Chains A and B, each alone.
Chain A
Amino acid sequence: MKPFAGLLERLVFTPSRNGKLRHLQRYFAETPDPDRGWALAALTDGFERKYATPSLVRPLIEARADPVLFRLSHDYVGDLAETVSLMWPGPAEAARENAPLALSDVIETVREARRKEVPALIAGWLDRLDPSARFALLKLLMGGMRVGVSARLAKTALARYGGIDLDRIEEMWFGLSPPYTDLFRWLDGTGPAPAVDDRLMFRPMMLATPLEGEDVARLDAGAHAAEWKWDGIRVQLAAHDGQARLYSRTGDEIGGSFPEIAGAADFDAVVDGELLVVAAGEVRPFNDLQQRLGRKSVTRRMLADYPAHLRAYDLLFEGGEDLRALPLDARRDRLAALIARENKSWLDLSPEVPFASWDDLARLRGDARAAGIEGLMLKRRDSTYQAGRPKGPWFKWKRDPLTADCVLMYAQRGHGKRSSFYSDFTFGVWRGEEVVPVGKAYFGFTDAELRQLDKWVRDHTIDRFGPVRAVSFGLVLEIAFDSIQRSNRHKSGLAMRFPRVARIRWDKPVAEAERIETLEALVERAAPDLVAQ
């Protein structure tokens, strides 16, 4: 338990991705099987269920601690698992034991145990452990690690640890199960690659490179097909033999949140496309899709209010046949046929946008200001489907950002290398006599500008709360953003998508910053599906 507890502690406090990777790699190298595999499962949410709940844990501490002291402590600390781990009666250091409690002992025991035996088991373990290991034990059993490790990051650490390609791990991931002994043996070079059924597995996606406006003229218009770039999330639907999995771009399985798709794909194919919310033929703003992301259970109401839709643009496999070496045009023909044949309400084809010349297309792109569209995709008609971001065959041509002059309101200290800088900026616009927040930006400035901003914040602080400073209204930031939507997250009722600092307007008086009415006029209605046909 102790090495795992140490790992959790290091992960939660290490802000940088690279630092977290180093800690994970070192843990994998130092920890024997099957403990490292169980730890991996804990970090990637790989257990079939939670073994303990707050209502199981709370009585354990209430039976052992003064209720007044427990209440004061819980109020102070906040987190139940942490409070219990810190005040559990027993030595502040672990008793030296001949056989320390292993992660695998805990997991294997608790999986076999009957429900009513679990409280006594947990109490017995807590008695043996020091506070940091008690915390790890409780988080292991209760879930909710919150150490800032995504499944993707854990897989990256595995790939680095074994010196192999991340794609290979992502491909096999859903064929593997805890405690991943065969995987680690392969990574250690002491066993063969694990054999997994590949029909439902994730295939690393082909990504596009950004295109700047002036470059387009150098491309051959006749050799490229154009599509709208949808503002949803990129997904891959793998269906086979009545089963289906829906993967995010990073290979995370999200089918559970979208049963109307994952539960209804009864064909045999791997489809690449955009996940959107489409209601009554209209693509809804990204905000609507956000209501559906990350939900473990989906209510009927959610399904009705925010119906999910897959707008397909590529076909990787069909009937077990690998189509990735075919040219795009051929793949799209097969895709169109499949969609027509299957005739699903939640599935359609992202159509081609016909154009006569690049100027023609640029005009279409400029006019495309409806919800759900971020710009255009340009793909070579003869391009094969290649994993990763090959340079050239696919381009994304985003529409020009909107901009607004906003007033700096709050600044927060950053993390890691930026921890001595105020680098996260909340800004707002005028509503009558007050300034109301509309967004937060973390980038868009150079290091030299960051230094100036940091100094400005320190010199104009009027209040502080923890790492946040409120500043007097005196600095205008020109903010670029992709779109603006209704939101109840901000007092203004608006939220920007992808805001970044375009320019620092040292020269501009704050009174001349934007008014809320101007931004409200930019809010996109769910425009009728303006796909030009």
Chain B
Amino acid sequence: MMRARGADSHPESWLRATDGGLYCVPGDFHVDPHRPAERAVITHGHADHARARNGKVLATPGTLAIMRARYGAEAWRESQALDHGETVRIGDVTVSLAPAGHVLGSAQAVLEYKGARVVISGDYKRRRDPTCPPFEPVACDVFVTEATFGLPVFRHPPDGEEVAKLLRSLETFPERTHLLGAYALGKAQRLIRLLREGGYDRPIHLHGAMGALCDLYEAQGVPLGPLRAVGDRDKKELAGEIVLCPPSALSDRWSRGFPDPLTVMASGWMRVRQRARQRNVELPLILSDHADWDELTRTLEDVGAPTVWVTHGREYALVHHARGRGFDAKALSLVGREEEDET
């Protein structure tokens, strides 16, 4: 691994948390800026990382496709695609994008300057995701990590078990529509793939907010099987079917008209019963695109960076743990990050 040599080359001196997000001084660019920046490196397509109206955007082809689908002509002035494994120079900084295993196109931004290397991991997870390549640990001097599920109570169970709960419920309640709330980008498509792997081959019905992103995944080579858009008139006929919708739609007026709807929600927050009950969820599925506690702590060891900066989530617990393990850790407060699992 490379080591920072002089004080001026330590990332403390050239990578800053600013009001606009993480800013790389020698490259004059932001990573995941939360307001429009002249030059931006985007880790992935979630709205709290990829915003509209940046000047020049560098991202993976998958992320660019998502941004284009979401923002159209507003997405950027100019874009540059960078595949995993390629490098590009921006100013004096060498930039590459390593897989983050979070959603389609998601990447860690790897920045090298004067022999020091920083990895900004964006959002990531370590378990298998059939819709994107797995997280790749990259040795570095400073590792910037999220901490969405940064408490030891958050330990996501195996995906298969969670999907099996849904399939069991469909058997027990064949007369009820199963309204499945899931984040529209990433979680929805991963769930569909997991259901297909679990042997579910019936058509899956989609809320209006889901269609475009599912089409995009298919166009990017992620087959999702038979999908149907839900019209108002069809609702009555959907007894015993799965209808996928954004979590906010579960308590929305839209959810009326289905036969005896059973609300299902797929999110890492479902691990805590009280949170699931607050949301009136009848079948909580613990399924997240973010690393759980075990994945977060394992990743610190796998990456082995002596310095760790913790961004959004429950920073305090993870910083405490990392220090106990001998890392030089601190919390880096970045404005504008949301708990996207929560919507």
Given A82-B273, A419-B263, A466-B278, A73:B284 Cβ within 8 A: no
Decide: B157 and A130 in contact? CB cutoff 8 A. yes
* Contact flags A18-29 to B (C-beta < 8 A → 1, else 0): 010011001000
Residue of A nearest to B249 (CB): A420
Decide: A87 and B152 in contact? CB cutoff 8 A. yes
Residue of A nearest to B156 (CB): A92
From B250, B260, B271, B276, contact of A417 by CB (8 A): B260
B93 to chain A, nearest CB (A): 36
Q: Which residues of A contact B156 (CB under 8 A)?
A: 92
B284 to chain A, nearest CB (A): 6
Q: In the docked arrangement, what's the CA distance between A6 and B283, Å?
A: 11
Q: Which residues of A contact B252 (CB under 8 A)?
A: 420
From B172, B251, B273, contact of A413 by CB (8 A): B251
Decide: B280 and A77 in contact? CB cutoff 8 A. no
Q: In the docked arrangement, what's the CA distance between A530 and B173, Å?
A: 53
Residue of A nearest to B281 (CB): A13
Q: In the docked arrangement, what's the CA distance between A62 and B153, Å?
A: 14
Residue of B nearest to A76 (CB): B151
Residue of A nearest to B153 (CB): A86
Q: In the docked arrangement, what's the CA distance between A13 and B286, Å?
A: 14
Decide: A415 and B280 in contact? CB cutoff 8 A. yes
User: Which residues of B, 254-304, contact A by the 8 Å Cβ criterion?
Assistant: 255-256, 260-261, 263, 271-274, 276-278, 280-284, 292, 294
Decide: A23 and B172 in contact? CB cutoff 8 A. yes
Asked if A78 is an interface residue, CB under 8 A from chain B, the answer is: yes
Asked if A101 is an interface residue, CB under 8 A from chain B, the answer is: no
Decide: A86 and B271 in contact? CB cutoff 8 A. yes
Asked if A83 is an interface residue, CB under 8 A from chain B, the answer is: yes
* Contact flags B125-166 to A (C-beta < 8 A → 1, else 0): 000000000000000000000000001111111100100010
* Contact flags A80-103 to B (C-beta < 8 A → 1, else 0): 001100110000110000000000
Decide: A22 and B282 in contact? CB cutoff 8 A. no
Stretch at the interface among A64-72, A161-169, A170-178, A303-311: A64-72
Decide: B152 and A73 in contact? CB cutoff 8 A. yes
Stretch at the interface among B79-87, B103-111, B313-321: B313-321
Given A130-B157, A131-B155, A419:B274 Cβ within 8 A: no
Decide: B280 and A72 in contact? CB cutoff 8 A. no
Q: Which residues of B contact A78 (CB under 8 A)?
A: 274
Decide: A69 and B251 in contact? CB cutoff 8 A. no
Asked if A403 is an interface residue, CB under 8 A from chain B, the answer is: no
Q: Which of A76, A83, A417 has the most CB of B within 10 A?
A: A76
Given A13-B281, A93-B157, A413-B251, A77:B152 Cβ within 8 A: no
Q: In the docked arrangement, what's the CA distance between A510 and B321, Å?
A: 56
Given A15-B282, A26-B172, A69:B274 Cβ within 8 A: no
Main secondary structure of the interface of A (DSSP, over half): helix
Decide: B282 and A14 in contact? CB cutoff 8 A. yes
User: Which residues of A, 176-218, contact B by the 8 Å Cβ criterion?
Assistant: none
Q: Which residues of A contact B6 (CB under 8 A)?
A: none
Q: Which residues of A contact B316 (CB under 8 A)?
A: 72
Q: Which residues of A contact B250 (CB under 8 A)?
A: 419-420
Give the size category of A's interface with B.
35 or more
Asked if B221 is an interface residue, CB under 8 A from chain A, the answer is: no
Q: Which residues of A contact B272 (CB under 8 A)?
A: 76-77, 82, 86
User: Which residues of A, 470-491, contact B by the 8 Å Cβ criterion?
Assistant: none
A292 to chain B, nearest CB (A): 30
Q: Which residues of A contact B165 (CB under 8 A)?
A: 6
Q: In the docked arrangement, what's the CA distance between A93 and B286, Å?
A: 13
From B152, B278, B294, B324, contact of A467 by CB (8 A): B278
6 closest Cβ pairs, A-B complex: A86-B153, A92-B155, A87-B152, A419-B280, A73-B153, A420-B255
Taking A77-B272, A417-B261 as given, write out 20 further A-B residue pairs in contact, using a Cβ cutoff of 8 Å, ordered by the A residue number: A10-B283, A12-B273, A12-B277, A13-B281, A15-B282, A19-B173, A72-B316, A76-B272, A77-B153, A87-B153, A92-B156, A92-B157, A93-B161, A131-B155, A132-B157, A413-B280, A419-B263, A419-B280, A420-B253, A420-B256
User: Which residues of B, 219-253, contact A by the 8 Å Cβ criterion?
Assistant: 250-253
Q: In the docked arrangement, what's the CA distance between A93 and B320, Å?
A: 25
Asked if A108 is an interface residue, CB under 8 A from chain B, the answer is: no
Q: Which residues of B contact A12 (CB under 8 A)?
A: 273, 277
Asked if A79 is an interface residue, CB under 8 A from chain B, the answer is: yes
Residue of B nearest to A454 (CB): B253
Q: Which of B263, B273, B314, B324 has the most CB of A within 10 A?
A: B273
Chain A residues close to B by CB (< 8 Å): 6, 10, 12-15, 19, 22-23, 26, 65-66, 68-69, 72-73, 76-79, 82-83, 86-87, 92-93, 130-132, 413, 415-417, 419-420, 466-467
A87 to chain B, nearest CB (A): 4
Residue of B nearest to A68 (CB): B320
Decide: B294 and A92 in contact? CB cutoff 8 A. yes
Decide: B317 and A93 in contact? CB cutoff 8 A. no
18 A-B pairs, CB-CB below 8 angstroms?
Answer: A13-B281, A14-B282, A15-B282, A65-B152, A68-B320, A69-B151, A77-B272, A82-B153, A86-B154, A87-B152, A92-B158, A92-B294, A93-B157, A417-B261, A419-B250, A419-B251, A466-B278, A467-B280
Q: Which residues of A contact B278 (CB under 8 A)?
A: 466-467
Given A13-B281, A415-B280, A77:B157 Cβ within 8 A: no
Residue of B nearest to A70 (CB): B152
B186 to chain A, nearest CB (A): 21
Q: In the docked arrangement, what's the CA distance between A417 and B259, Å?
A: 9
User: Which residues of B, 50-87, contact A by the 8 Å Cβ criterion?
Assistant: none
Decide: A131 and B157 in contact? CB cutoff 8 A. yes
Q: In the docked arrangement, what's the CA distance between A417 and B263, Å?
A: 10
Decide: B172 and A66 in contact? CB cutoff 8 A. no
Q: Which residues of A contact B256 (CB under 8 A)?
A: 420
B295 to chain A, nearest CB (A): 10
Q: Which residues of A contact B280 (CB under 8 A)?
A: 15, 413, 415, 419, 467
Q: In the docked arrangement, what's the CA distance between A86 and B268, Å?
A: 13
B170 to chain A, nearest CB (A): 13
Q: Which residues of B contact A420 (CB under 8 A)?
A: 250-253, 255-256
B238 to chain A, nearest CB (A): 15
Q: In the docked arrangement, what's the CA distance between A240 and B12, Å?
A: 84
A2 to chain B, nearest CB (A): 10
A95 to chain B, nearest CB (A): 13
Q: Which residues of A contact B276 (CB under 8 A)?
A: 13
B280 to chain A, nearest CB (A): 5
B156 to chain A, nearest CB (A): 7
Q: Which residues of B contact A6 (CB under 8 A)?
A: 165
Decide: B273 and A72 in contact? CB cutoff 8 A. no
Q: Which of B172, B271, B280 has the most CB of A within 10 A?
A: B280
Q: In the docked arrangement, what's the CA distance between A126 and B298, Å?
A: 22
B248 to chain A, nearest CB (A): 11
A370 to chain B, nearest CB (A): 41
A63 to chain B, nearest CB (A): 15
A451 to chain B, nearest CB (A): 9
Q: Which residues of B contact A65 (CB under 8 A)?
A: 152
Decide: A83 and B251 in contact? CB cutoff 8 A. no
Q: In the docked arrangement, what's the CA distance between A131 and B316, Å?
A: 24
Decide: B317 and A69 in contact? CB cutoff 8 A. yes
Residue of B nearest to A78 (CB): B274
Residue of A nearest to B256 (CB): A420
Decide: A69 and B320 in contact? CB cutoff 8 A. yes
From B281, B282, B292, B321, contact of A92 by CB (8 A): B292
